[in-house]
Amino acid sequence: MSARFSEAGIVNVSFGENVRVINPVNLYGCRIGDHAFIGPFVEVQKEVSIGNRTKIQSHTFICEWVEIGNDCFVGHGVMFINDAFSEGKPAGGNRNLWKPTKIGNNVSIGSNATILPVTICDEVVIGAGAVVTKDITKKGVYVGNPARLLRLL
| Per-residue pLDDT tens digits for 1-48 | 678 877 779 999 999 999 999 999 999 999 999 999 999 999 999 999
Average pLDDT over residues 116-125: 98
| Per-residue pLDDT tens digits for 79-92 | 999 988 888 888 88
Q: What CATH number should be reported for the domain whose range is 10-85+97-152?
A: 2.160.10.10
Residue 102 to residues 1, 47, 140, 149, Cα–Cα distance (Å): 42, 12, 17, 18
Mind spelling out the 3-state secondary structure of 7-63? CCCEECCEECCCCEECCCEEEECCEECCCCEECCCEEECCCCEECCCCEECCCCEEC
pTM of the model: 0.94
- For 97, the 3-state DSSP assignment is helix
Position 112 pLDDT exceeds 80: yes
Position 132 pLDDT exceeds 90: yes
